[in-house]
Homo-oligomer: A and B are copies of this chain.
Amino acid sequence: MFKANPDYLKLRGSYLFSTVANKQKAFQAANPDKKIIRLSIGDVTQPLAPVIIDALHKAVDEMAVAETFHGYAPDLGYEFLRKAAAENDYRARGCDIADDEIFISDGAKGDCGNIQEIFAKDCKVAVCDPVYPVYVDTNVMAGRTGVFDEASETWSDVIYMPCTAENNFMPEIPAETPDIIYLCFPNNPTGGVITKDALQGWVDYANKVGAVIIYDAAYEAYISEDNIPHSIYECEGARTCAIEIHSFSKNAGFTGVRLGYTVIPKDLKCGDVQLHSLWARRHGTKYNGAPYIIQKAGEAVYSAEGKKQLAEQVAYYMKNAAYISNGLKEAGYEVYGGVNAPYIWLKTPDNMTSWEFFDKLLEQANVVGTPGSGFGPSGEHYFRLTAFGSYENTVEAIDRIKKM
């Protein structure tokens, strides 16, 4: 008799977003005349930029003619996109990354989830707390996290690195030595950023103890300040200890288009084994390449016109972020993030729990946000708002909150 994967059965239910949705639905049903505004979503709302639309149409036309039809893509991505990414995202910033160290995929979420597969099961994982749930859940599914403790809401074999206002949302080197360290900057959910010096400290530490840093750079396009690194490869020595995951979802609005990439330098080795070759083998065996038309859209992201149009899109969302951040500060809230990041992380007033504040915001302002406790125990007493709505809705939501 076949058996189900017992590690899958350890997974916690995904109560966070379903509870958010259910509460919103119940409130709307009881108050049909109220206009609810969602500042909870991580999804973008602005349409694709004209340069992207144009590239998609052109690529679709190519698929209509035998001479320019494209069948199976190269497993690791088309050269034109690997080159554009390596050139623009790395070499233009002085980072030594070769075209063939770029692995094109259908998005950062899949890469974030699948990357743990190339490591041994007994590797010890360290995560920030609060954290993007995918890092932890995929390690649970791989049997790497031990036993869940209901009281502390933590897994016995995971190293948690609390990120709260007390440490300016910066993880500290943990007491126990990890093998795999997940870092995400600019951070989801806190909106925190790391300086180049601080990130260099992590790179030095990882090289010293033989750990790998999985660096999620999904929000790097939102960085506007100097001395905030766009890539971990800006740090010396990162080629021997870091994997970087890149998304097109938030810099180019590709949440529904699906494109991303992962960088694995060939210098990153376990003994003689290059992680680069293991990931290549995973791509070759379990993946069949991102669609040609989508990769052409990705190429357009790096064109001169693409950069211009997408900078405007990022600016649109960051105007929202500024309105949220300033508005909440004026209203007396303790507010973090919202600069160099599309997330605003606020301390709940009067020591309310995250869920108490959720209810209050929904009932009194008809605004939906995300309770910080949903991202991990250290997210309790915090609350996340996002800048991805329309400007009009964002303004209205914040003005309502100010009047609460």
Interface residues of A (CB under 8 A from B): 1-6, 8-9, 11, 14, 43-48, 50, 53, 56-57, 60-61, 63-66, 69-73, 106-107, 109-110, 113-114, 117-123, 134, 137-138, 141, 179-180, 209-212, 253, 255-258, 270, 273, 275, 278, 281-282, 284-294, 390
Contacts and interface: CB of A to CB of B under 8 A. Distances in A.
Given A63-B53, A113-B285, A8 B278 contact: yes
Contact of A285 (B2, B53, B73, B137): B137
A62 to B, nearest CB: 9
Nearest to A117: B5
Contact of A291 (B71, B258, B281): B258
Contacts of A209: 1
What copy number does this chain have within its complex? 2
A180 B285 contact: no
A309 to B, nearest CB: 12
Given A47-B64, A64-B50, A281-B11, A120 B270 contact: no
Contact of A66 (B45, B73, B278): B45
23 contacts: A1-B179, A1-B211, A2-B123, A3-B123, A4-B273, A5-B278, A8-B117, A14-B284, A46-B66, A47-B63, A53-B60, A56-B56, A63-B257, A71-B255, A106-B258, A106-B288, A106-B291, A110-B287, A113-B286, A114-B286, A138-B285, A256-B292, A258-B289
A119 B4 CA distance: 4
Query: Which interface residue of A70, A210, A290, A291 has the most chain B CB atoms within 10 A?
Result: A291
Contact of A120 (B4, B43, B253, B258): B4
